[in-house]
Amino acid sequence: MSPRLALAVCLVAALLACGEAQQGRPDRQGTTTPTPPAPAPTAPLVDAAGAPVNCPCQSTQEYNPVCGSNGATYNNPTKLRCAQRCGYEVTLAYYGQCS
Protein backbone atom coordinates (compact mmCIF):
# COMPACT_ATOMS: atom_id res chain seq x y z
CA MET A 1 0.00 0.00 0.00
CA SER A 2 1.39 3.39 -0.95
CA PRO A 3 1.99 5.99 1.78
CA ARG A 4 -0.57 8.35 0.19
CA LEU A 5 -3.26 5.68 0.15
CA ALA A 6 -2.52 4.72 3.76
CA LEU A 7 -2.72 8.39 4.79
CA ALA A 8 -6.04 8.80 2.96
CA VAL A 9 -7.50 5.70 4.66
CA CYS A 10 -6.39 6.95 8.10
CA LEU A 11 -7.84 10.39 7.41
CA VAL A 12 -11.21 8.95 6.38
CA ALA A 13 -11.29 6.69 9.45
CA ALA A 14 -10.49 9.65 11.71
CA LEU A 15 -13.27 11.75 10.17
CA LEU A 16 -15.79 8.95 10.58
CA ALA A 17 -14.80 8.49 14.22
CA CYS A 18 -15.22 12.22 14.89
CA GLY A 19 -18.70 12.17 13.38
CA GLU A 20 -19.77 9.27 15.59
CA ALA A 21 -18.58 11.04 18.74
CA GLN A 22 -20.98 13.90 18.05
CA GLN A 23 -24.10 11.74 17.64
CA GLY A 24 -25.27 11.34 21.25
CA ARG A 25 -22.06 9.75 22.52
CA PRO A 26 -20.17 11.03 25.56
CA ASP A 27 -17.88 13.97 24.89
CA ARG A 28 -14.43 14.45 26.41
CA GLN A 29 -15.84 15.42 29.81
CA GLY A 30 -18.03 12.31 29.93
CA THR A 31 -21.33 14.13 29.41
CA THR A 32 -23.69 13.33 26.58
CA THR A 33 -24.64 15.91 24.00
CA PRO A 34 -28.45 16.18 24.16
CA THR A 35 -30.53 15.60 21.07
CA PRO A 36 -32.71 18.63 20.29
CA PRO A 37 -36.46 18.11 20.89
CA ALA A 38 -38.81 17.59 17.97
CA PRO A 39 -40.60 20.73 16.82
CA ALA A 40 -44.13 21.28 18.09
CA PRO A 41 -46.96 20.86 15.61
CA THR A 42 -47.71 24.00 13.68
CA ALA A 43 -51.12 25.64 13.52
CA PRO A 44 -53.56 23.54 11.51
CA LEU A 45 -54.24 24.49 7.97
CA VAL A 46 -57.90 25.33 7.61
CA ASP A 47 -59.69 24.54 4.36
CA ALA A 48 -62.26 26.77 2.64
CA ALA A 49 -65.01 25.34 4.88
CA GLY A 50 -63.11 26.33 8.03
CA ALA A 51 -62.25 22.72 8.92
CA PRO A 52 -58.77 21.45 9.79
CA VAL A 53 -57.02 19.80 6.85
CA ASN A 54 -56.18 16.07 7.22
CA CYS A 55 -58.47 15.76 10.23
CA PRO A 56 -61.87 14.26 9.39
CA CYS A 57 -64.67 15.01 11.86
CA GLN A 58 -68.45 15.01 11.64
CA SER A 59 -69.85 18.53 11.91
CA THR A 60 -72.70 20.66 10.64
CA GLN A 61 -72.39 23.12 7.79
CA GLU A 62 -73.65 25.88 10.11
CA TYR A 63 -71.79 29.16 9.59
CA ASN A 64 -71.06 30.60 13.02
CA PRO A 65 -67.37 31.59 12.73
CA VAL A 66 -65.02 31.46 15.69
CA CYS A 67 -61.42 32.58 15.99
CA GLY A 68 -58.94 30.07 17.36
CA SER A 69 -56.00 30.97 19.58
CA ASN A 70 -53.78 30.01 16.62
CA GLY A 71 -55.21 32.82 14.47
CA ALA A 72 -57.26 30.50 12.24
CA THR A 73 -60.96 31.13 11.61
CA TYR A 74 -63.15 28.02 12.00
CA ASN A 75 -66.63 28.03 10.42
CA ASN A 76 -68.23 26.97 13.70
CA PRO A 77 -67.27 25.85 17.22
CA THR A 78 -67.65 22.18 16.25
CA LYS A 79 -64.88 22.50 13.67
CA LEU A 80 -62.63 24.10 16.29
CA ARG A 81 -63.34 21.16 18.64
CA CYS A 82 -62.47 18.85 15.75
CA ALA A 83 -59.01 20.43 15.58
CA GLN A 84 -58.64 19.92 19.35
CA ARG A 85 -59.56 16.23 19.04
CA CYS A 86 -56.97 15.87 16.29
CA GLY A 87 -54.24 16.97 18.68
CA TYR A 88 -53.91 20.67 17.91
CA GLU A 89 -53.43 22.90 20.94
CA VAL A 90 -56.02 25.51 20.05
CA THR A 91 -58.65 27.22 22.19
CA LEU A 92 -61.52 29.55 21.42
CA ALA A 93 -60.17 33.10 21.33
CA TYR A 94 -63.49 34.78 20.47
CA TYR A 95 -66.67 34.42 18.43
CA GLY A 96 -66.40 35.84 14.93
CA GLN A 97 -63.75 35.77 12.23
CA CYS A 98 -60.12 36.31 13.16
CA SER A 99 -58.96 39.76 12.19
pLDDT profile of the chain (99 residues), mean per 10: 65 57 56 66 63 78 94 92 88 96
Q: What is the pLDDT of residue 21?
A: 47
Other beta carbons within 10 Å of 68: 24
| Ramachandran area for residue 42 (φ above 0: left; ψ -120 to 50: alpha; else beta) | beta
Q: The pTM is what?
A: 0.50
